[in-house]
């Protein structure tokens, strides 16, 4: 497959008053993940030039299943988060900086400061 799941359609609106198709989950190490351009929450406007407007969910799924080996997606990136999570993985990823990106440099700086203080005290 293409390595992602979709939600939405005329019969299963994901966003109120919007029949669009959205990416709900990207499979790690799948085609979409390895390509790196598609994101969870993206609206898929067209696949291989075929407009996805006003399709039932199952009809959209069928288009994706029959897309072939060379797939072209026209997407619209979501700028504002909607109410509720998009991801169905349940991993709690907020999309911001990982906590380690803040803690590791801070701890390294603190360890360096302690080391300098101890070396300074030994010399006195």
Per-residue pLDDT of the chain (124 residues; tens, 9 = 90+): 899 999 999 999 999 999 999 999 999 999 999 999 999 999 999 999 999 999 999 999 999 999 998 899 999 997 655 555 544 444 444 445 455 556 666 666 677 777 777 777 777 6
Distances (CA, A) of 117 to 106, 107, 108: 17, 15, 14
Q: Is residue 39 part of a domain?
A: yes
d(CA 65, CA 59): 10
Of the candidates 92, 4, 1, the one whose C-alpha atom is nearest the C-alpha of residue 42 is 4
Q: Is residue 104 part of a domain?
A: no
Q: Is residue 48 part of a domain?
A: yes
CB of 40 closer than 8 Å to CB of 78:
no
Residue 40 belongs to a domain with what CATH number? 2.30.42.10
Q: Is residue 63 part of a domain?
A: yes
Q: Is residue 87 part of a domain?
A: no
* Total tally of structural domains belonging to the chain: 1
Q: What is the 3-state secondary structure (H, E, C) of the chain?
A: CCCEEEEECCCCCCECCECCEEEEEECCCCHHHHHCCCCCCCEEEEECCEECCCCCHHHHHHHHHCCCCCCCEEEECCCCCCCCCCCCCCCCCCCCCCHHHHHHHHHHHHHHHHHHHHHHHHHC
Q: Supply the range of the domain harboring residue 41.
A: 4-76
Q: State if pTM tops 0.85.
A: no
Q: Is residue 8 part of a domain?
A: yes
Q: Is residue 66 part of a domain?
A: yes
Q: Is residue 100 part of a domain?
A: no
């Amino acid at each position: 497959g293409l390595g992602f799941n979709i939600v939405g359609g005329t019969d299963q609106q994901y966003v109120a008053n919007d029949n669009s198709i959205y990416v709900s989950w990207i499979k790690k190490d799948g085609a979409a993940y390895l390509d790196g351009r598609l994101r969870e929450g993206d609206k898929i406007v067209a696949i291989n030039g075929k407009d996805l407007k006003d399709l039932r969910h199952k009809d959209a799924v069928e288009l994706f299943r029959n897309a072939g080996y060379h797939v072209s997606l026209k997407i619209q990136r979501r700028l504002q988060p909607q109410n509720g999570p998009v991801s169905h993985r349940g991993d709690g990823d907020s999309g911001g900086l990982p906590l380690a990106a803040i803690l590791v440099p801070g701890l390294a700086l603190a360890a360096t400061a302690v080391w300098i203080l101890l070396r300074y005290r030994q010399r006195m």
